[in-house]
């Protein structure tokens, strides 16, 4: 019997996530400190922590650190996602600062939970082991379950939280069962060792069963059809800032883990998962877009639209290789800029004391608030994929990778889907610019932090659209560690 | 790198739009005046393009190349040849006229209107000067949004429906084109090892004939056919035209429709020569159906604007017929007819807009006997109508005649059917003219109409000059384009025969 060897403790590989976790603890402590009227200062501290983690991630670029026996990998791939996640988290915190005050949901633990979720996401993208994937997924999910139910007095918020929790727990167990099967077949949970095992190389039936179950779990987190049912209800009921975090951060993290698991550990079964994902991608984008056509609630509409975008992103996995994976990363970056911005703009609008979420609420917005209307228009156009905005270039890379890999028909389905999608995104513009308001008009909360967040998102949108080359190179550099 | 003249012309309107954003909303006169000045300066800068362009060369001129996305093989590559030069000038001429025509017609949200038109101009110019497929697609899609807003915000009663229909039709078409662009890119890259979106480079590549080329051709052709619009993809056009404000209609008819025909010339013919030959009979059939159908439907329209809109379907059918004859006369005629249609139909829409501003109706039945009340308007209207129906000595004749000569060489019956379109054009235009202008004044309101103002003269005179100039001395215009077109024909034929030999 061999002795149990404890791996050396090398916290450097955890540094970005640790900073965020430390800030979370600090925020919780300070929340207990002499009570103050508002909790905005906690938001400021949270923001500081996230920015610090972001800066650390930037300085680490180009290095690779494997710690805890390859359980945590801080490579370019993880760092790229750290940037996306920190960026999303920072915008969410900025948008939350006065959103919470306005909607009466202000509390110190809000920022703490956002930071815990962020840390979970950051661990998830560095996971080199299925156990770490599962643990970080739970850290992220549990925080988000609570955050979705932040508005304790609102029925919809409670419903969102409960649905998210029940279905999420169900999906997590699928993931765990899949991990167990793969462990049984290959004798390891480490991605590298799974990849090296004969069972994974030969696509053993047990591995395939595990793969299928894991795809259910991941499918839930990225909300791909047919595991998307929770998304509209949760997106609608959760506070808008949290909705945007679920739609971007948690999706990016789940995608990161999914890509790493499939591309690194289960490369041997690529033919199988690629065929499976072809169908899921086509189904996801079509269902998302077609159902979104019928939505009049903007948050629900964006929920279905985010489902559709997942369908597009899965195309990159189907296409495989460096171009496909790189395209997904670029797409996630563009999608994060756009989606946080769109939800943020919606979060600023209120009508008759309530959040303005019906598309009809936005009638005539262009006349009363031309700048905000223009901002929301640009976000919508980017979601449609109109050049020269980020969404177009992202789609171009993604569709290009699919065509390159020979998936012409999937690309045709995707482009036709984007044409369908134009209808419901443009409907928002129709209301803002071409209709007159009925009854009480929309009021927009003046918000410095919110305005700043939207400006950042807008700059990112235009920058990614006009000068995509450096970011695309970044995304390509990020996927190289996976494809060795 | 210093931006060249062509870049300046292309982006000046957009830069002007950016500047106008900072002019306060209440200074509507400055917004209007500023917009007009910007478009006029753009026109003035585009004149040297015309004068310095060497007509006996088939090469791209005023070329500019800069790196943009080197890893993808995308570059900022622009330039003009004998075909795009005419369309660039058509754009720079028509945009200030359209803006000036909207001086009083657009009172609501003037600032946004002027900015939108300026952005639209940059989009349109970009489409015509792009020599990189990626860049082209960027402009092609980006330009949709300003037009969508112009129809949807400043249009008539049913404007939202028309705007949405317009944009959905065009987006579905261009979606498939995107796939074809990518497919072509990878096919070229796979065969030659050079991954590029550069149009001249791609045009030299001989694509193997067969299903792949045919599908790519069809994907491109669908996008362009919707824009032209070729029968049966024309149903968005009457709605868009009728609902759009006058300035929008002028730009839509004058420039936007030309993007479709230009696309066929620039991409479909040289990139997919075998498919062009294969599908030419289909295009001929659709073009002739469009010519006759558009003319017949125009005849029975009670609404002036709808009549002009359907006449576009007929006139663009002539252009398509000319382009696919693939002989010198047909192609030159098609190109000249593109310009003619822009001028004549643009002028018709302006005139309809002027009378609409006075009477707030466009129904033919509401007019009659206008000659007695507003003779100057009636005289201009007569000249423009005659130019549109192809009276010798005016511009329309030159284009249609050359197209018919070209079509006759392909198949005499084709020319025969197409000629009926000219006859019907005379019927619907003259009959309309008779009902609106001649006879007794039947409606009391019409007695108080005022004749053309100075501003309206200023808008119409440039177009009248062009109508007569092209009609009397067409070689000033054909001379610029003939060398390009012979080179294009030679390229299409040689590529098709090379493919045949393999």
3-state secondary structure chain A: CCCCCCCCCCHHHHHHHHHHHHHHHHHHHHHHCCCCCCCHHHHHHHHHHHHHHHHHHHHCCCCCEEECCCCEEECHHHHHHHHHHHHHHHHHHHHHHHHHHHHCCCCHHHHHHHHHHHHHHHHHHHECEHHHHHHHHHHHHHHHHHHHCCCCCCHHHHHHHHHHHHHHHHHHHHHHHHHHHHHHHHCCCEHHHHHHCHHHHCCCHHHHHHHHHHHHHHHHHCCCCCCCCHHHHHHHHCCHHHHHHHHHHHHHHHHHHHHHHHHHHCHHHHHHHHHHHHHHHHHHHHHHHHHHHCCCEHHHHHHHHHHHHHHHHHHHHHHCHHHHHHHHHHHHHHHHHHHHHHHHHHHCEEECCEECCEHHHHCCHHHHCHHHHHHHHHHHHHHHCCCCCHHHHHHHHHHHHHHHCCCHHHHHHHHHHHHHHHHHHHHHHHHHHHCCCCCCCCEECCCHHHHHHHHHHHHHHHHHHHCCHHHHHHHHHHHHHHHC
Closest CA to A250 of A314, A326, A339, A163: A339
Q: Which two tokens stand for residue B40?
A: 């006029």
The tokens for A129 are: 């082991």
pLDDT over 80 at A94, yes or no: yes
Q: Are strands B74-80 and B61-69 parallel, antiparallel or unpaired?
A: antiparallel
Q: Which residue has the tokens 């002007």?
A: B16
Instruction: Judge whether residue A252 has pLDDT over 90.
Output: yes
Q: What is the DSSP letter of B266?
A: I
Residues of chain A in contact with residue B71, where contact means CB-CB under 8 angstroms, are 469, 472-473, 476
For testing the chain B interface, which of A367, A380, A417, A430 should be mutated: the one with the most B CBs within 10 Å? A430
Q: Give the contacts of A386 (CB within 8 A, at least 6 positions apart).
A: A392, B141, B142, B144, B145
Helix (H) or strand (E) holding B55: none
pLDDT at A101 over 80: no
Contact B175 A415 (CB under 8 A): yes
H or E element in which residue B100 lies: helix B82-101
**Which residues lie across from B196 on neighbouring strands?**
none
CB contact under 8 A, B142 and A408: no
pLDDT of residue A2: 65
Distance (Å) from the C-alpha of residue A412 to the closest C-alpha of chain B? Answer: 7
Mean pLDDT (chain A) is 90
* A388 closest CB neighbour out of B72, B138, B149: B138
Residue B9 tokens read as 């012309």
Q: Which of residues 67-86 of B touch A (CB under 8 A)?
A: 68-72
pLDDT higher than 60, residue B502: no
The token duo for A154 is 């609102």
CB B356 within 8 A of CB B246: yes
Sign of CA dihedral B354, B360, B366, B370: negative
Average of pLDDT values for B117-141?
93
The one-character DSSP state at B79 is E
Token pair of B146 as six digits: 């300003």
Tens-digit pLDDT profile for residues B402-422: 999 999 998 899 889 888 888
C-alpha distances out from residue A402 to A405, A471, B420, Å: 5, 20, 48
Question: Does position B225 have pLDDT exceeding 80, yes or no?
Answer: yes
Give which of B256, B7, B255, B272 is closest to B129, Cα–Cα.
B7
What values do phi and psi take at A4, rounded to 5? -75, 125
Q: Is the pLDDT of residue A12 over 90?
A: no
Of A386, A415, A423, the CB nearest to B176: A415
Q: Is B303 helix (H, G, I), strand (E, B) or coil?
A: strand
Question: Percent of chain B at pLDDT above 90?
Answer: 42
Token reading at A43: 């938001």
> Could you give the angle at the alpha carbon of A257 between the alpha carbons of A332 and A179, nearest 5°?
155
Q: Do A469 and B69 touch (CB under 8 A)?
A: yes
Cα torsion angle, A150, A153, A157, A160, sign: positive
Question: How far apart (Å, rounded) are the C-alpha atoms in residues A290 and A305?
Answer: 9
Preferred mutation among B69, B116, B214 to probe A, highest tally of A CBs within 10 A:
B69
pLDDT surpassing 60 at residue A1: no
State the count of interchain CB pairs (< 8 A) between A and B. Answer: 84
Of all residues in chain B, the one with the smallest CA distance to A404 is B186
CA distance B490 to B262: 18
> What mean pLDDT comes out for the span B226-235?
89
Residue B127 Cα, gap to closest chain A Cα (Å): 13
ipTM of the complex model: 0.91
Q: Any bridge partners for residue A351, and if so which?
A: A354
pLDDT in tens, A206-239: 999 999 999 999 999 999 989 999 999 999 999 9
Among A122, A343, A171, A320, which Cα is nearest to A242's?
A: A343
Sorting pLDDT into bands at 50, 70 and 90, what band is B500?
A: low
Closest chain B C-alpha to A276 CA, distance in angstroms: 23
* pLDDT range class, residue B348, cuts 50, 70, 90: very high
Kindly state the helix (H) or strand (E) to which residue B68 belongs, with its residue range: strand B61-69
Q: Which ranges constitute the DSSP H helices of B193-299?
A: 199-204, 211-227, 236-243, 246-251, 257-263, 269-271, 273-299
Q: What is the pLDDT of residues B108-128, one digit of tens each?
A: 888 889 999 999 999 999 999
Question: Which neighbouring-strand residues pair with B74?
Answer: B69
Residue tagged 């197209």 (tokens): B403
Tens-digit pLDDT profile for residues A180-208: 999 999 999 999 999 999 888 888 899 99
- Local confidence band at B159 (pLDDT 50, 70, 90 cut-offs): confident
Residue A4 burial by Cβ neighbours in a 10 Å radius (0-12, 13-18, 19+) = exposed
List CB contacts (< 8 A) between B141 and chain A.
Answer: 386-387, 392
Q: B283 CA to chain A: closest CA distance, Å?
A: 24
Cross-chain Cβ contact B179/A468 below 8 Å? no
Q: Which helix (H) or strand (E) holds B56?
A: none
Q: B80 forms bridges with which residues in the sheet? A: B61
How far apart are alpha carbons B117 and B147 in whole angstroms? 8
Q: Are strands A349-351 and A443-444 parallel, antiparallel or unpaired?
A: antiparallel
Q: Return the HEC string of A345-384.
A: HHHCEEECCEECCEHHHHCCHHHHCHHHHHHHHHHHHHHH
**What is the maximum alpha-carbon separation in chain B?**
74
Say whether pTM exceeds 0.90: yes
pLDDT (0 to 100) of residue A132: 94
Burial B248-274 (b: 16+ CB within 10 A, else e): bbbbbbbbbbbbbbbbbbbbbbbbbbb
Question: Rounded to the nearest 5 degrees, what angle is found at the Cα of A311, between the Cα atoms of A308 and A312?
Answer: 95
Q: What CA–CA distance (Å, rounded) separates B259 from B128? A: 8
Query: Using N-to-C axis directions, what is the helix angle for B110-129 and B144-154, rounded to 10°?
Result: 150
What is the rounded distance in angstroms from the CA atom of residue A189 to the CA atom of residue B448? 89
pLDDT tens-digit readout, A311-352: 999 999 999 888 899 999 999 999 999 999 999 898 888 776
- Put simply, the answer to whether B168 touches A433 (Cβ < 8 Å) is no
Q: Are A315 and A260 in contact (CB under 8 A)?
A: no
Cβ-defined contact of A411 to B182 (cutoff 8 Å): yes
Q: Which of B153, B168, B179 comes nearest A423 by C-beta?
A: B168
Q: How many Å from the N-terminal Cα to the C-terminal Cα in chain A? A: 34
Give percent above pLDDT 70 in chain A.
Answer: 99
């Amino acid at each position: 019997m061999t002795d149990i060897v404890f791996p050396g403790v090398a916290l450097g590989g955890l540094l970005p996530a640790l900073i965020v976790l430390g800030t979370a603890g600090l925020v919780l402590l300070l929340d207990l400190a002499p009570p103050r009227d508002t909790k905005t200062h906690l938001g400021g501290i949270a923001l500081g922590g996230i920015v610090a983690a972001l800066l650390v991630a930037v300085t680490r670029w180009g290095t690779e650190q494997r710690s805890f026996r390859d359980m945590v990998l801080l490579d370019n791939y993880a760092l790229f996602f750290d940037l996306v996640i920190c960026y999303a988290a920072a915008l969410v915190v900025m948008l939350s600062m006065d959103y919470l005050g306005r909607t009466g949901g202000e509390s110190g633990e809000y920022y703490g939970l956002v930071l815990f979720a962020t840390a979970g996401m950051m661990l998830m993208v560095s996971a080199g082991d299925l156990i770490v994937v599962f643990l970080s997924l739970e850290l992220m999910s549990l925080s988000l379950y609570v955050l979705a139910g932040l508005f304790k007095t609102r029925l919809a918020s409670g419903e969102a939280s409960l649905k998210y929790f029940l279905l999420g727990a169900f999906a997590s167990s699928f993931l765990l069962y899949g991990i167990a099967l793969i462990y049984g077949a290959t004798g390891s949970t480490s991605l590298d060792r799974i990849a090296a095992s004969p069972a994974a190389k030969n696509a053993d039936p047990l591995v395939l069963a595990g793969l299928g179950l894991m795809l259910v779990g991941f499918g839930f987190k990225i909300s791909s059809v047919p595991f998307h049912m929770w998304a509209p209800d949760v997106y609608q009921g959760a506070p808008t800032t949290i909705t945007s975090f679920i739609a971007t951060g948690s999706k990016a993290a789940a995608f990161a883990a999914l890509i790493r698991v499939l591309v690194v550990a289960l490369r041997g079964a690529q033919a199988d998962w690629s065929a499976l994902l072809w169908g899921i991608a086509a189904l996801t984008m079509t269902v998302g877009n077609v159902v979104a056509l019928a939505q009049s609630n903007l948050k629900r509409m964006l929920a279905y639209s985010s489902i559709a975008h997942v369908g597009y992103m899965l195309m990159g996995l189907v296409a495989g290789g460096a171009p496909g994976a790189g395209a997904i990363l670029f797409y996630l970056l563009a999608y994060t800029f756009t989606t946080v911005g769109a939800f943020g703009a919606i979060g600023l609008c209120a009508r008759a004391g309530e959040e303005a979420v019906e598309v009809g609420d936005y009638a005539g917005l262009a006349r009363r608030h031309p700048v905000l209307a223009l901002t929301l228009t640009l976000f919508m156009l980017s979601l449609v994929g109109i050049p020269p905005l980020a969404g177009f270039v992202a789609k171009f890379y993604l569709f290009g990778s699919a065509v390159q890999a020979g998936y012409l028909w999937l690309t045709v389905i995707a482009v036709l889907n984007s044409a369908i999608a134009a209808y419901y995104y443009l409907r928002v513009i129709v209301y803002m610019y071409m209709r007159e308001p009925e009854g009480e008009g929309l009021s927009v909360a003046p918000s410095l932090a919110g305005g700043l967040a939207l400006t950042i998102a807008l700059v990112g949108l235009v920058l990614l659209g006009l000068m995509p080359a450096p970011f695309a190179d970044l995304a390509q550099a990020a996927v190289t560690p996976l494809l060795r | 790198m210093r931006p060249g003249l062509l870049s300046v012309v292309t982006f000046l309107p957009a830069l002007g739009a950016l500047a106008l954003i900072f002019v306060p909303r209440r200074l509507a006169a400055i917004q209007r005046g500023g917009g007009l000045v910007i478009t006029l300066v753009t026109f003035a800068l585009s004149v040297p393009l015309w004068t310095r362009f060497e007509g006996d060369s088939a090469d791209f001129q005023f070329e500019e190349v800069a790196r943009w996305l080197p890893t993808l093989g995308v570059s900022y590559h622009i330039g003009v040849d004998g075909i795009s030069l005419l369309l660039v000038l058509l754009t720079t001429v028509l945009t200030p006229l359209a803006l000036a025509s909207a001086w009083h017609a657009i009172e609501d949200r003037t600032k946004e209107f002027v900015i939108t038109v300026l952005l639209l101009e940059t989009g349109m110019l970009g489409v015509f000067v792009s020599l990189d497929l990626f860049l082209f697609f960027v402009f092609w899609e980006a330009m949709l949004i300003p037009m969508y807003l112009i129809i949807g915000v400043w249009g008539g009663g049913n404007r939202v429906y028309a705007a949405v229909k317009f944009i959905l039709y065009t987006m579905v078409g261009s979606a498939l084109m995107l796939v074809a662009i990518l497919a072509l890119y990878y096919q070229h890259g796979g065969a030659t090892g050079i991954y590029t979106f550069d149009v001249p480079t791609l045009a030299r590549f001989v694509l193997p004939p067969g299903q792949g080329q045919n599908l790519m051709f069809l994907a491109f052709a669908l996008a362009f056919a919707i824009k032209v619009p070729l029968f049966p993809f024309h149903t968005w056009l009457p709605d868009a035209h009728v609902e759009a404000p006058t300035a929008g209609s002028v730009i839509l008819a004058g420039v936007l429709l030309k993007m479709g025909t230009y696309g066929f010339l620039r991409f479909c013919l040289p990139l997919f020569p075998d498919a062009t030959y294969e599908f030419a009979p289909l295009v001929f059939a659709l073009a002739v159906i469009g010519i006759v159908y558009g003319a017949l439907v125009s005849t029975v329209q009670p609404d002036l604007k709808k009549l002009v809109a359907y006449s576009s379907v007929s006139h663009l059918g002539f252009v398509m017929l000319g382009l696919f004859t693939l002989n010198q006369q047909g192609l030159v005629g098609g190109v000249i007819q593109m310009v003619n249609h822009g001028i004549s139909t643009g002028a018709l829409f302006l005139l309809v807009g002027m009378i609409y501003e006075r009477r707030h109706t466009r129904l033919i039945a509401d007019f009659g006997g206008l000659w007695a009340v507003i003779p100057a308007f009636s005289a201009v209207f007569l000249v423009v109508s005659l130019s549109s129906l192809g009276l010798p000595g005016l511009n329309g004749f030159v284009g249609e005649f050359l197209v018919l000569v070209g079509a006759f060489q392909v198949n005499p019956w084709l020319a025969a059917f197409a000629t009926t379109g000219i006859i019907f054009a005379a019927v619907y235009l003259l009959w309309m003219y008779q009902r609106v202008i001649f006879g007794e004044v039947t409606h009391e309101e019409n007695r108080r109409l005022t004749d053309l103002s100075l501003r309206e003269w200023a808008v119409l005179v440039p177009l009248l000059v062009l109508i007569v100039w092209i009609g009397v001395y067409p070689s000033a215009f054909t001379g610029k384009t003939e060398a390009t077109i012979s080179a294009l024909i030679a390229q299409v034929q040689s590529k098709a025969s090379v493919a045949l030999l393999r």
